[in-house]
Structure 1
Amino acid sequence: MVFFNKIAAAAGFAVALTASAAVAEYPSKPVTLVVPYGPGGAADLAARIIGAEAPEYLGGNVLVVNQAGAGGVTGSTMVAKGNPDGHTLLMSRVGSQATVPAMNTTIPYTWDEFTFLGLVETNPFVIAVGADSKYQSFEDLANAIQSGERLTYSSAGVGTLLHMAVLILLDDLGVDPEALIHVPFKGGGAATTGVVSGNADFIFHNLSGLIGPIESGQLRPLLTSTTERVPSLPDTPTAAEAGHPALEAVVGWSGVWGPKDMPQEAADKWIAVLENLSTDESWIASTEKLGSIPQVMSPEDTKIFVEAQYNKFREVADKLGMVVR
């Protein structure tokens, strides 16, 4: 009996070792981090910083892949409906994960059809015009809009936060949402270039996506959505200072999501990775350099935050009669 007990114990120990090895094997190949927008935008920049810094804590490489289309829906669907083994994750953005689901109930996924691994950063939104624009201040731009000038604005696509941001702006100004011409692009980077090149009059975009052209003098910032002035834009008034505090609701954010049925061991690994990044000086410095605010949240807090964002955008979309059902 002692002999068989030893065999059973040895077998149990072997199974435990095998299980531990299986867990330790994740990731067994490079992890693909899907960006649902084009190169150069806020989501892409945030993803590439994670792709550079996360391997130290993950124990494997991270490949950043841009899968733009349909306002972030194409890339998000690729992850939501793809292999749930944890080797394909999503660089989530407020547009693709909150505004689009709030405005369109026919897309292939819902806002909560993912494994929330953690929010990683938030970033203020900035209204900006081209360097040669005749609009020198937000007041100039607002007066032009309210007087009926047929201005154009760029966005990363229909239903993205860049689109919703301007709709919130127009609602706050008491202007019909059809008063301006919407020029959608495939991603925030292309939308920014659209204003720099003169193909759109203005943009309401993440500071992280605009900071480069602003610092190089290609764009002029007119307003930030922050409650206090942004240190990198000390001469740019806040929404409240400009008399439009309602615009403070417009804020960008990035997170890392997995497919809904992602293995727990893979999820736990990434939760730990993000926790490590939250104190990583290199990641923090790189994120702040983009004008973003490092803000790693737990999966639970992330879900609460995203749900509040989703509900806010659904409320605005319902008010404007823009929900597709």
Structure 2
Amino acid sequence: MLKHTFTKIAAAVGLVALGGTALSAAEYPEKPITLIVAYSPGGGTDTAARTVAKYVEKHLGQRLVVENKAGAGGQIGFSALAKANPDGYEIGFINVPSIQLVKQLRDNVPYEMSDFAPVANIQLDPVVVAVDAGSPYQTLAELLEAAKADPGALNIGADGPQSNNQLQLIVAEDALETDFNFVAFDGSGPAIKATLGGELAASLPSASSASSHVEAGRLRVLGVFADERSPLFPDVPTVSEAAGTEVPSVGASLRGIAAPAGIAPEHKARLEQAFADVMADPEFLAHAETAGLPLKYMDAAAFEAYLQEADAALGKYIDLMK
């Protein structure tokens, strides 16, 4: 009888333990979550992060607090995310191909791609060629003509060094037989500011970063690095159209959410569901369209597969970046 009673007590304790585990998982998150952005305020990734964060709260039950860790072309922020506590309270944006370019081109980078647990992709944002609204260059052809007339003299700026924007410039210079002087910034925001201040002949921000400045009449976009015209700038030709020759579009920024590897599966699943809910939220979709955010949703599995494919595909461009 004692043995029987003990068995029932043990079973009851086991059920309580299981119930406690389930309750603990269900309670996540119990406090605000830090969302690391590897670029400065005002750029495309920062804008996307702050916009998405407003809506995640509704579906996650906790705030996402954006923390900018800019510098070294994203390396500082990516490294901080890779080494963060995998308790589910520190996640971040990872940018493709920048995160992989940094890893493949530099020595002693303190992260591996295996240090990240993909959660969901949010955006696919092409690179554009932008000039100050008062610039003498009215078309991309005029800018290219000036660059060819005085190789290396025109300053053109973007995220960097060794960013997706610089990759796009190098590939374009190779295809168009031109030579600009590349100036690296900690994000699209500072590069745009330098363009507006006359320090740069042009800059290479993302389409979403340039959008509000174009609407305000401060910037003019001369070309879009994409296979098709951007819905944000339907009257602006692709760079290939404007240049009259094929220019590979390799710099578009894929922006997605990742957690540090080792995050509990149930916490990752909770995050993945919350971002899926946001990406299907009519209010968010309407806001994104108004704000000019080019969305591209992938769930965790699809995002992880894309990361692996992109990592392998970058090989043919690495020599151009060295």
Matched, 1:90 2:87: no
Question: Cα deviation per residue 1:45-65 (whole Å; 9 max; x = unaligned)?
Answer: 111012100011112111111
The sequence identity of aligned pairs, in percent, is 29
- Structure 1, unmatched stretches of 5+, are none
Within 5 Å, which residues of 2 pair with 1:172-321?
172-175=175-178, 179-242=179-242, 243-318=244-319, 320=320
Query: Aligned partners of 1:23, 1:198: CA distance in 2, in Å?
Result: 53
CA root-mean-square deviation: 1.8
Q: TM-score, with normalisation over the residues of structure 2?
A: 0.92
Query: Aligned partners of 2:108, 2:175: CA distance in 1, in Å?
Result: 28
Query: Aligned partners of 2:234, 2:213: CA distance in 1, in Å?
Result: 16
Q: Which residue of 2 aligns with 1:81?
A: 83
**Secondary structure, counterpart of 1:248 in structure 2:** coil
Shift of 1:244: 4.0
Within 5 Å, which residues of 2 pair with 1:114-129?
114-129=116-131
Q: Which residue of 1 aligns with 2:164?
A: 161
Query: Aligned partners of 1:117, 1:308: CA distance in 2, in Å?
Result: 17
Asked if structure 1 preserves the Cα contact closer than 8 Å seen for 2:162 and 2:321, the reply is no
**Secondary structure, counterpart of 1:295 in structure 2:** strand
Aligned length: 318
Within 5 Å, which residues of 2 pair with 1:27-176?
27-94=29-96, 96-149=98-151, 150-175=153-178
Query: Aligned partners of 2:321, 2:38: CA distance in 1, in Å?
Result: 26
Question: Cα deviation per residue 1:269-324 (whole Å; 9 max; x = unaligned)?
Answer: 11111111121112222333343322221222112222333334332122x260xx
Query: Aligned partners of 2:114, 2:246: CA distance in 1, in Å?
Result: 29
Structure 2 CA distance for partners of 1:67 and 1:199, relative to 1, 3 Å = same
Give the letter aligned to residue 192 of structure 2: T
Query: Aligned partners of 2:142, 2:47: CA distance in 1, in Å?
Result: 31
Give the letter aligned to residue 298 of structure 2: M
Asked if structure 1 preserves the Cα contact closer than 8 Å seen for 2:86 and 2:261, the reply is yes
**Deviates most, 241-250 or 186-195:** 241-250
Asked if structure 1 preserves the Cα contact closer than 8 Å seen for 2:165 and 2:251, the reply is no
Asked if structure 1 preserves the Cα contact closer than 8 Å seen for 2:175 and 2:246, the reply is no
Structure 2 CA distance for partners of 1:308 and 1:246, relative to 1, 3 Å = farther
Question: Cα deviation per residue 1:154-186 (whole Å; 9 max; x = unaligned)?
Answer: 1122012222221121111134xxx42222222
Question: Cα deviation per residue 1:248-285 (whole Å; 9 max; x = unaligned)?
Answer: 23212211011111111111111111111121112222
Asked if structure 2 preserves the Cα contact closer than 8 Å seen for 1:223 and 1:237, the reply is yes
Asked if structure 1 preserves the Cα contact closer than 8 Å seen for 2:165 and 2:205, the reply is yes
- Structure 2, unmatched stretches of 5+, are none
**Secondary structure, counterpart of 1:255 in structure 2:** strand
Q: Which residue of 2 aligns with 1:22?
A: 24
